[in-house]
Each structure stands twice: as structure tokens, then as C-alpha cells.
Amino acid sequence: MALARIELPHDARRGELVEVRIVIQHPMETGFRRAPQGERVPRNAIHSLVCRYRGAEVFRATLSTGIAANPFLRFFLRATQSGDLDFWWLDDDEVQGAAQTHLVVSP
Amino acid sequence: MKKYLVLAALIACTAQAQNHSGLEFASEEIRRLQASDAENPGMLWVDQGAKLFAQKCASCHVSMKGVATRYPAVEDGRIVTLEAKVRHKEAFAYESDELLALTAYIANQSRGMPIKVSPPAEKLDAGRKAYYQRRGQMNLACAHCHEQNWGKRLGAETLSQGQPNGYPAYRLEWQKMGSIERRIRACMFGLHAELPAYGSDAMLELELFLAARASGLPIETPAVRR
């Protein structure tokens, strides 16, 4: 149920800086909380996230439990050619998530 | 600073007893979060709701625009909330991601449209009675905070009018989406009062009264609240 929303400008010019925004649905459990019956809720946070643009890594983030649930990340990349942006992330439960979008670049 | 000016302006017009969305009591940051669909985390549930709707509801229903403005409604003498309506085919658990996603998706289609609830008098009176009923160890009624003292501070919080127009909403305290019923239970918890069960008559009557009281306020789902 990896759910994410990626927001890009509709199109970009070559060489332009493009704002990339992503929100990922994830509880980002700290491991410090207790469930109503008193049992510890195990830590489960996304710890690595990678973004590839046309196959090449352009952004990497190391996250931890200090980040709120449903993390929101924003970064900029320089548009070169039209191509796919591939996000991939991994949490403490070894569950992988992925999301993809397409960036349209006009010359 | 700006926030206090806005509040001062709000308080200045209390005499007219106008309705004010919880949005007006929120900080700049929260308002910005709600305003941008790219950043509003509640949109994750709206997206999930769109997928579920396509799978489970779309064979009968098409557009749900305007539907959420009419709920809770009274049908055959019973109060029916949007949640109850969604559950008519498949009984999703209250506060499950599925139910929140579907209700958020449906309510989101009415975003910006005014709440228009006109229940029969006897149902409304039951809710009104609950609203003015003192309860819990704090011995307070809803009206004490949300009618007589909104705009003032309660500790670090600014008391809002307790309007339901943003729900289901993303609350930072919950770190997820939640229904108006969960929010009402949170208030009752603060009063050290008995928590009305999800979907119970006591809850439904109060929800109906809140919606009737909020008539005219635009739906904001998915709102972001503290």
C-alpha cells in the first residue's frame, strides 16, 4: 500500500531548476510509543530514500524517527531532458516503496 | 503577530455570532499546509479513496459532487452520516484507512461548497440538548468553550468554534486522518467525560447539530488541524 504523491511543474525548459515535492504515506513509528494495552509499538521509519532521474541518482535522503508521519520532502534538480523520475525507499520493516513520475522538458 | 490581528478582528465581530471555520484559528504554517494539495498530507487519503471508489463504488455511483454538503441527513427517522452511508455496502471499521479514504474522497468533491443540512426539529433538538449539556469531571458543555469563549486562549490553544466543516481532517496530533467522531471523542476525553461510541445515537445527534450549526460554512476536506 505504498502511496505517495509527487508534484512537479507541468513542463520545464532545459537547464531550468525544477522543484520536486513528494509526500509519502508512512507512520514513521518512533519505537517509543505504546499501544492501548501497554505493549511497545516497534520502531518503523523510512530510513533511506533515493531519487533517480533518467536512471542516474540525483537525490538521496537518510531519514529517521525525528521526522513526522507521512514525510514531505522537497528538493530541486536541473532539468536536462524529458525522462522518468524514480523514487525508491526502504523502511525498518524492510518494506520497499516506489513511485514514478515523468518530467517533460522542452528545449 | 498577524494571527493575533486576525483573531482580534474575529473577536470584534462576535456580536454578529458568525460562523468561523477552524482554519481561521490555525497558524500560518498550518494554513499553508492545507492550501497546497502538493503538501497537504490529507490528500494521500483522498488519492487512496479515489482508487477504492473506482474499485468498489463506481459501478453504481459517478460524481459525488455536493453530496457531502447534505450529511448528516435524517432518513426514515434515523440520522445517517456520510460514514454510515459509505458503510451501507461494506462495513469498514470506524477510523480505518479505507473508511477515512472514501469519506475524504467524497467530501473533497464538495470542497468549497457550503454545508446545507436541514434536519427535522425533534432530531435537531436532541443534538442541541447534548450540546448544552454539562458533562464529565470538568462539568462543561460544548457551548462553554465553543460558543461562549471561542477566540480566547485555553493554555497554549486558541479555542475555535468547533466547526466540523474540515472533517475528515488531517490532525497533526494524530499524525493521520480522522473523522469528526474521533474529534468529538477527543473533546470528551479532555472533559473527563464518557466517550460516546462511534456511530451511537448520542454521537449522531451531536454530529447532526454541529452540521446544522455550521450551515453555510464551506467544506474544506481534507483540512489540516493541529
Greatest C-alpha distance within chain A: 60
Mean of the per-residue pLDDT values of chain B: 92
Go through the domains of chain A in sequence order and give each one's CATH number: 4-106 (2.60.40.10)
Greatest C-alpha distance within chain B: 51
Residue with cell 459509505: B86
Residue with cell 477510523: B95
Confidence at residue A36, expressed as pLDDT on a 0 to 100 scale: 87
Confidence at residue A104, expressed as pLDDT on a 0 to 100 scale: 95
pLDDT digits (tens, 9 = 90+) for B143-190: 999 999 999 999 888 999 999 999 999 999 999 999 999 999 999 999
Measured between alpha carbons, how far is residue A71 from residues A45, A91, B144, B198 in Å? 10, 12, 37, 29
- Mutant choice from B36, B37, B39 vs A, greatest count of A C-beta within 10 A: B39
Q: CA-CA distance, A35 to B22, in Å (whole number)?
A: 29
Please report, for chain B, how many H helices and E strands are present, in that order: 9, 7
State the pLDDT confidence band at B12, using cuts at 50, 70 and 90: very low
Task: Give the active site residue among B57, B142, B145, B187.
Answer: B187
pLDDT digits (tens, 9 = 90+) for B17-63: 699 999 999 999 999 999 999 999 999 999 999 999 999 999 999 99
Q: Return the domain boundaries, chain B.
A: 2-225
> Are the Cβ atoms of B38 and A69 closer than 8 angstroms?
no
pLDDT digits (tens, 9 = 90+) for B52-102: 999 999 999 999 999 999 999 999 999 999 999 999 989 999 999 999 999
Q: Does A69 touch chain B (CB under 8 A)?
A: yes
Task: Mark whether B187 is an active-site residue.
Answer: yes
> Are the Cβ atoms of A27 and B175 closer than 8 angstroms?
yes
Q: CA-CA distance, A58 to A50, in Å (whole number)?
A: 8
Q: Decide if A28 contacts A93 (C-beta within 8 A).
A: no
What value does the mean pLDDT take over residues A19-46?
94
Q: Decide if A47 contacts A35 (C-beta within 8 A).
A: no
- A79, three cell numbers: 532539468
Flag whether pLDDT at B124 surpasses 80. yes
Q: Does A33 touch chain B (CB under 8 A)?
A: no
Q: CA-CA distance, B200 to A100, in Å (whole number)?
A: 43
Confidence at residue B3, expressed as pLDDT on a 0 to 100 scale: 54
Q: State pTM to two decimals.
A: 0.91
Confidence at residue A2, expressed as pLDDT on a 0 to 100 scale: 59
Q: How far is A72 from chain B (nearest CA, A)?
A: 7
B146: how many CB neighbours lie within 10 A of its CB?
A: 18
For B2-225, CATH number out of 3.40.50.11540, 1.10.10.60, 3.30.300.30, 1.10.760.10 equals 1.10.760.10
